[in-house]
Structure 1
């Protein structure tokens, strides 16, 4: 669907102003939108998984852990595919978040994937500038990610930041000069970003961030010793069809969570870079940006 068609649909959750900001800037932050009881349940389940990660020694199908991770000093970078790890996460993905996705994608919404990222207290934990769509190209760009802060997030603990209007500009090359996938901009390209256009999306626990898959974004390193969790759910319009292998499919991948499946794909003429073949599996953006793959 085109932007004006989407905006002509009645809003379920967001205000019209919030919807218009998303389409104008490529992102929007909405504070204090998650009900408190839902937030408390997500925090409880997340704390349990953090504790379970202590038993891991290397990254696997459930946990992505950083260098030095151990039972005494766990460094959990990501809980992979939370949608299949606990019903609380999947209920969240198909509840309020799906309604919000419909406000920005149109009435027919497909679930793509989820992840739970943790921001740690070390300089190397910067998530560098990148765009999402090169990881999972679709026939059009009605693809977005909704993040939910599970802890209060300000400039001290690495909030998500995005470049206004970048979703309307060209996509970047996320391979290095030797042809290796890095999942990020080169240092040269990153140095050319106009930081006066950058907005840092801060908010209390229960606030959400929403960004389009073309939008340039990153998060700076945290200065807080307490890890900051961000629960992320990615959705697509039903008329946006994938044309590469899914990086990390689950039993919920491509499920219709609002409306219905459509049988006609809509094609955006703008090109999209093709990622490596993910059919053999995928680690995480942390591993790619650190050169661990």
Structure 2
């Protein structure tokens, strides 16, 4: 059974995002939550981040504060099955066509009582491709209301300017400048609340972000970025990562499809200096 109606596909093309309240079935969400809870429990014994668990400020055994599980598909069988063969791959195919790569996955925790702000940004500058069709599918692993800092998107912003995500001096910030944010239409801002299992979709050029989570509840959002196989990665950031850029549907293509609009490039993270958007933005905030 298809995920989307033709009208919903048209809305995605127009607005650059979707929110699907009728999302992943509860039994499958239960499996993912159980896997997530295993990471949370293991984090209680950590005092520093590991390759599969990025800790947030204030983390301790009694009050775990996790930022992220990076590349979830590489670290747990339930996440692997979901990202490589799960129902969201069918959803990606409806929007991207038959030949699809998984670029990367992650689980952003946005821990209660201090989960950090994610400033307004676009995704594609972090991992440029030859065109702008890559998209990210999110799944809420808990009920998310306005108090928990849901993801916000600016509808239609994927058709607007592409930021360099740098400041006036040219230094990388990972976020739009104050002037660029001021130019956005506040009437186009949408906060994507949803029940456990709800699905978000946003295009790689859609401006999005979220406020700090000052509630007492964790806001876990499981994210997978997919690209059509004719969108060729322009950096090698995922080369050493298990399941990075793996084909999950269809097969390779004979030609790359190139956008007429050039994409700003990120810093050279070949030495492994980049860990997450959290660390990039928080360094600039701090």
TM-score, normalised on structure 1? 0.92
- In the other structure, the counterpart of 1:167 is 158
Q: Does residue 20 in structure 1 map to residue 10 in structure 2?
A: yes
Q: Distance in 2 between matches of 1:203 and 1:111?
A: 24
The residue correspondences of 1:226-241 to structure 2 (distance < 5 A) are 226-241=217-232
Deviates more, 1:187-196 or 1:272-281: 187-196
Equivalent in 241, 262, 270 of residue 253 of structure 2:
262
Q: Does residue 55 in structure 1 map to residue 45 in structure 2?
A: yes
Q: Distance in 2 between matches of 1:71 and 1:111?
A: 34
C-alpha deviations, 1:228-270, integer Å up to 9, x for none?
A: 1000000000100011122575221121111111120000111
Q: Does residue 153 in structure 1 map to residue 144 in structure 2?
A: yes
Q: Distance in 2 between matches of 1:69 and 1:235?
A: 31
Q: Distance in 2 between matches of 1:52 and 1:255?
A: 28
Q: Distance in 1 between matches of 2:137 and 2:115?
A: 24
C-alpha deviations, 1:144-200, integer Å up to 9, x for none?
A: 000000000111111111111111111012122333322111223223322110111
C-alpha change, 1:161 and 1:113, in structure 2 (3 Å) is same
- In the other structure, the counterpart of 2:56 is 66
- In the other structure, the counterpart of 1:284 is 276
Which stretches of structure 1, 4 residues or more, deviate above 3 A after TM superposition? 121-124
After superposition, the CA RMSD in angstroms is 1.7
- In the other structure, the counterpart of 2:81 is 91
- In the other structure, the counterpart of 2:22 is 32
Q: Distance in 2 between matches of 1:238 and 1:173?
A: 25
Structure 1 counterpart SS, 2:261: coil
* Consecutive unaligned residues in structure 1, runs of 5 or more: 1-10
Contact 2:101 2:248 in 1 (8 A): yes
Q: Distance in 2 between matches of 1:247 and 1:166?
A: 27
Paired positions, count: 283
Structure 1 position 59, deviation (Å):
2.4
- In the other structure, the counterpart of 1:205 is 196
Structure 1 position 66, deviation (Å):
1.5
Q: Distance in 1 between matches of 2:106 and 2:223?
A: 5
Q: Distance in 2 between matches of 1:89 and 1:26?
A: 26
Equivalent in 61, 66, 72 of residue 82 of structure 1:
72
Deviates more, 1:81-90 or 1:118-127: 118-127
TM-score, normalised on structure 2? 0.94
